[in-house]
Structure 1
Amino acid sequence: MHYSRILSSAAVLSYAVASPLNLYSTRADAPGPTCSKADSSELSCHSTANVSNTCCFNSPGGQILLTQFWDSKPVAGPVDSWTLHGLWPDNCDGTWEQFCDKTRESKDITAVMNKFGRTETLAYMQKYWKSNDGKDDSFWQHEWNKHGTCMSTFEPKCYTDYQEGQEIADFMDKAVEIFKTVDTYKILSAAGITPSTSKTYTLDDLQAAAKKVHGQEVVFNCKNGVISEVWYHYNVYGSAQSGKYVPAPVVGSPSTCPKTGIKYPPKDGKDGDSDGGSDGGSGGTPTATPPGPTDSPAPGPTATGSPSTGSPSTGEEFSGRGYLNVDKGGCLISSGKWYTKGTCATYTAAGTSSGFTLKSSKGACGLVNGRLECGADVTGATFTASDGKLVSDGSPSFYASKDATSGHQETVYTNAEGRSVTLAISWKGM
């Protein structure tokens, strides 16, 4: 399971007597493959092209999760911080691969980090990437062996002048780097959600606090009503090592916490009234596996389910972040095409003096030769709305050459010109 922190029973080798890896320090300044702008132009899980360069495009594990623990019993990590669990490459449909390459599994992460001069990262890991049984290196081995070996951009073929173990050091670096960007303790504290021996919290409050910073819902997991873990979802432009991470809707297993009465116990037995915490991670491993699929995430909006099917919700304002639903079923993906089988793209609607603009992860949305398109090279258009429907050039009607329910991605047009399907597009705010 994703959750399992348990690890091999082999004792952790000490640095002093470890493998010859410890004898060298050859840090590489640029981790991973060098990806051109063109190679990095497709967002994982959202590609509309047949991407063949999996050194610069994460596939099949394009839904990358940064996972953290809150361990209060037994305590692991600083009392004012969550701890790092791992970086997981889930597939774009909620499934995942595991233990993908036995030949590259590690038995000594500490030695690898020292070999490549990642001593600062290692020191951080020793404080914030903790196992609740005290065997931190075995825990790190488990995370790399199970998850890291399944990330396509970390394969040795993706490196120039590859050195054995280089991808392992890069994986650890990236997990720590992303972990530092989402300090869950501070995120929750800013919303008045602090560890307490008496208070309880609602799942809605936890989600609202996380979404305010992350921009998307996350997965909170509980055991017997006690919070134990959080999963942040991302898609990536380019390689997992050096690409751009974009917060993504949840795909996979949902939060296991109850809607109300969630306990957030302090690690030191005292109520946490401070406004912040340390600059990084937090507590160790959950002592039990919550229900749900092995190691995997929670369901985000898909083109075949809420919020994207059915009639448009009349009257909802095009503002902030949301989804563009199609009345025939499905929604618009990030390129602006209509789709019914995949994950709905997140759009941003920003008001102007005469209406609003739309933007997806691919770029601004506009009209290109009568087609609705979104991309880095698209000149943004100003749209309006009428009765909750998107309006372009005064009309709430859009068109497609055929029905996308067949599973094809269909171009959306602003004129009929013999096209057989008429569409209405509405906004569903997040």
Structure 2
Amino acid sequence: MGYLQPQTGGNLGPQKILKALSTWWLSSTADDKQSTAPGVSRSCSSGEISCQIQYHGQDTCCFNYPGGQMLQTQFWDADPAVGPDDSWTIHGLWPDHCNGGFDQFCDPKRRYSNISLILVDAGRADLLQYMTEFWKDYKGDDSHLWQHEWEKHGTCVSTLETRCYEDYQPQQDVVDYFDKSVEIFKQVPSYEFLAANGILPSHTQRYALTDIESALESGHGAPVTVHCRQGALSEIWYHFNIAGSLQTGRFVPAPPDGQKSNCPKSGIRYPPKRSTPEPTKTTSRGSEPTHTGHPKTQRGNLMVSSLGHRRGCIISYGTWFTSGTCATFRTQKVTDNTFTLKSSKGFCAFEDDALRCHSHVNKPSEFTITEGKVSYAGNTTFYADKAPKGHVQSIIYASQAEHLLELELEWSPKGSF
């Protein structure tokens, strides 16, 4: 949505405050001039629907061209598990040509790496919070996914070009893109569409493509494109044409513009994102006690699990790595229930809340094993700012503070990753 409607759910950022003060001052000193609301997109007639009407010189601030068909794309990530168990997540909003082709990375001048700050500065902390839950990257780097979707697809939406705003406010086009992407996502709740037709995540049940497509088409109002990965549901594309601009126009459900499903006709899996935990064993004396203590072996690796999936390990300096050889750690008993860890670089300790292993550690941190997980100070959850990529490593922290990615460390017998 554009800024024609008041924003709610977040505090006004500095840009909006300055703009509002500027507008107030101008109106108070020049009553004969009617000030324009900051960042209002151009007023457009919604009579012509993209892809249904050929381009004949229309104003592309009001008529989406050449990317006239919008694809609202959604992920189902079960391995690793990403997002809520009962919801698909957002992949993006893509402007496709009306024949299946598309442009990409259309405006290098509008490449931004601070999507979160842009949203907060615009007073849309509510939008950012929703995206943090439902617009997820399977590698744990949500901000990188948002940046990629804006740069590759958002900059190719003709009605989001900066010239299409009567009084352009910096990065408002970015806010409008993510706002509309979320709005359309909410209109096509894939999990609910499928569940209403008896199609639910299952480790054993298999489904026919026609049943899946029928359930989604019934909810959407037009055929959809379904994608599979190794015989399992992985992505859905909802197709729309638009009457008017992306910001304020009407999204009209439309058939695919040439895209085809790659799923098998039958036997399609729809795996649950997370396995149902085994029931706790009980006796007449109550629940069995939680096992804590030492690893069964004195030499092993520290494997990292994030979002329900194993992703890399701890290397000799105590940092998280997703490629290469895992460090071999040795345990040394301290008490009946605790032990220290040592790598080839030295003992390991949390220094200033960050895990480090080196020869200058004078007081190693003490750990325990709780149900197979490494525990420190009674907690089996650790934190990082983001998942490592390639040769880049990530620091492991003991407390959450501002570190948003949750991790678990699992002790594993010596081996390579």
Bin for the TM-score computed over the shorter chain: 0.5 to 0.7
Following TM superposition, by how much is the alpha carbon of 1:48 offset from its aligned partner in structure 2, in angstroms? 4.6
Cα pair distance change 1:96/1:117, threshold 3 Å: same
Residues 144-181 of structure 1: CA deviation (Å, up to 9, x unaligned): 00000000000000001112111001100000000000
Residue 162 of structure 1 is matched in structure 2 by 168
Give aligned pairs, total. 252
- In the alignment, does 2:48 pair up with 1:35? no
Q: Secondary structure at the match of 1:79?
A: coil
1:340-359 alignment runs, 5 A limit? none
Following TM superposition, by how much is the alpha carbon of 1:49 offset from its aligned partner in structure 2, in angstroms? 6.1
Residue 209 of structure 2 is matched in structure 1 by 203
Q: Is the CA contact (8 Å cut-off) linking 1:237 and 1:244 kept in structure 2?
A: yes
Among 116, 131, 136, the alignment partner of 2:142 is: 136
Residue 66 of structure 2 is matched in structure 1 by 60
Residues 268-318 of structure 1: CA deviation (Å, up to 9, x unaligned): 1249xxxxxxxxxxx99xx9xxxxxxxxxxxxxxxxxxxxxxxxxxxxxxx
- In the alignment, does 2:191 pair up with 1:185? yes
Q: Distance in 2 between the 1:24 and 1:49 partners?
A: 36
Cα pair distance change 1:106/1:22, threshold 3 Å: farther
Corresponding letter in the other structure for 1:96: F
Following TM superposition, by how much is the alpha carbon of 1:23 offset from its aligned partner in structure 2, in angstroms? 4.7
1:252-331 alignment runs, 5 A limit? 252-270=258-276
Among 83, 93, 96, the alignment partner of 1:90 is: 96
Q: Is the CA contact (8 Å cut-off) linking 1:31 and 1:242 kept in structure 2?
A: no
Structure 1 length-normalised TM: 0.56
Q: Is the CA contact (8 Å cut-off) linking 1:199 and 1:263 kept in structure 2?
A: yes
Q: Is the CA contact (8 Å cut-off) linking 1:32 and 1:153 kept in structure 2?
A: no
Q: Secondary structure at the match of 1:198?
A: strand
Looking at secondary structure, tell me which structure has more strand per residue.
2
Among 77, 92, 109, the alignment partner of 1:71 is: 77
- In the alignment, does 2:250 pair up with 1:240? no
Residues 379-420 of structure 1: CA deviation (Å, up to 9, x unaligned): xxxxxxxxxxxxxxxxxxxxxxxxxxxxxxxxxxxxxxxxxx
- In the alignment, does 2:125 pair up with 1:122? no
- In the alignment, does 2:105 pair up with 1:113? no
- In the alignment, does 2:228 pair up with 1:222? yes
Q: Distance in 1 between the 2:63 and 2:273 partners?
A: 40
Cα pair distance change 1:250/1:49, threshold 3 Å: closer
Corresponding letter in the other structure for 1:65: L
Q: Distance in 2 between the 1:102 and 1:66 partners?
A: 23
Q: Is the CA contact (8 Å cut-off) linking 2:207 and 2:267 kept in structure 1?
A: yes
Cα pair distance change 1:185/1:31, threshold 3 Å: farther
Q: Secondary structure at the match of 1:228?
A: strand
Following TM superposition, by how much is the alpha carbon of 1:215 offset from its aligned partner in structure 2, in angstroms? 1.3
Q: Is the CA contact (8 Å cut-off) linking 1:24 and 1:114 kept in structure 2?
A: no
Cα pair distance change 1:247/1:197, threshold 3 Å: same
Cα pair distance change 1:162/1:215, threshold 3 Å: same
Residues 27-59 of structure 1: CA deviation (Å, up to 9, x unaligned): 9989752334xx321100111562421001100
Task: Select the structure of larger CA radius of gyration.
Answer: 2
Q: Secondary structure at the match of 1:199?
A: strand
Residues 227-249 of structure 1: CA deviation (Å, up to 9, x unaligned): 10000000000001110000001
Q: Distance in 2 between the 1:51 and 1:238 partners?
A: 15
Q: Is the CA contact (8 Å cut-off) linking 1:236 and 1:245 kept in structure 2?
A: yes
Residue 105 of structure 2 is matched in structure 1 by 99
Cα pair distance change 1:270/1:220, threshold 3 Å: farther
Q: Distance in 2 between the 1:84 and 1:31 partners?
A: 26
Q: Is the CA contact (8 Å cut-off) linking 1:155 and 1:167 kept in structure 2?
A: yes
Q: Secondary structure at the match of 2:228?
A: strand
Residue 346 of structure 1 is matched in structure 2 by none
Residues 43-91 of structure 1: CA deviation (Å, up to 9, x unaligned): 0011156242100110000010000000000011001100000000000
Percent identity between the aligned chains?
A: 48
Corresponding letter in the other structure for 1:72: A
Residues 97-153 of structure 1: CA deviation (Å, up to 9, x unaligned): 000000001111001101111111111000000001111111100000000000000
Q: Distance in 1 between the 2:110 and 2:203 partners?
A: 44
Cα pair distance change 1:135/1:226, threshold 3 Å: same
Corresponding letter in the other structure for 1:35: S
- In the alignment, does 2:240 pair up with 1:231? no
Corresponding letter in the other structure for 2:222: Q
Corresponding letter in the other structure for 1:149: T
Corresponding letter in the other structure for 1:118: R
Structure 1 residues not aligned, in runs of 5+: 1-20, 272-282, 288-430
